[in-house]
């Protein structure tokens, strides 16, 4: 069962993911932190699926599919940015900087 501890771990992992997005400048590492946040949400889905039925596990399946699609498109964007700027550091990507 372990509902409370699982939700707590999910919250901690999500916060670590948020901190990672705010701390790093490498776009690929930021992207990995987003994947970490998605995984944290998956954990809370799985924990609650024990009580609400199998629908939570089906949702995790959909989240994984969307994450896979997101990773493919996002990494393609990274390659396009790298070709343009010769780096994926966010400090070099400042076209909208005022």
Partner 1 sequence: MVETVFYIFGCSAVLAALMCITQRNPIASAFWLVVVMLALAGIFVLLNAQFIGILQVLVYAGAIMVLFLFVIMLLNLGAGGTDLRGKVSWVLALGIAGALTASLMRLARYTPAELAREVSGTSDFAPDVVLPGAHQLQAGVDAHGVVGAVAAPLFQTYLIPFLVTGVLLLTAIVGAVLLAKRKV
Does position 41 interact with partner 1 (CB under 8 A)? The reply is: no
Which residues have CB under 8 Å from 2's CB, separation 6+?
47
- Residue 83 sits at the vertex; the CA angle it makes with 71 and 80, to the nearest 5 degrees, is 30
Does position 82 interact with partner 1 (CB under 8 A)? The reply is: yes
- State which of positions 52-71 bind partner 1 (CB under 8 A): 52-55, 57-58, 60-62, 64-71
Q: Which residues pair with 85 in a beta bridge?
A: none
Interface with partner 1: number of residues (CB under 8 A):
71
From its phi and psi, is residue 93 left (phi > 0), alpha (psi between -120 and 50) or beta? beta
- State which of positions 10-39 bind partner 1 (CB under 8 A): 10-20, 22-26, 28-29, 31-33, 35-36, 39
Which helix (H) or strand (E) segment is 1 a member of? none
**Smallest gap from residue 44 Cβ to partner 1 (A):** 8
Does position 78 interact with partner 1 (CB under 8 A)? The reply is: yes
């Amino acid at each position: 069962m372990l509902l409370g501890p699982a939700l707590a771990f999910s919250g901690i992992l999500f916060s670590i993911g948020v901190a990672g997005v705010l701390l790093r400048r490498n776009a690929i590492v930021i992207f990995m932190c987003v994947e970490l946040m998605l995984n944290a949400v998956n954990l809370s889905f799985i924990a609650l699926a024990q009580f609400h039925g199998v629908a939570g596990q089906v949702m995790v399946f959909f989240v994984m599919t969307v994450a896979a699609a997101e990773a493919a498109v996002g990494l393609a964007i990274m390659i396009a940015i790298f070709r343009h700027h010769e780096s994926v550091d966010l400090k070099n990507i400042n076209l909208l900087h005022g």
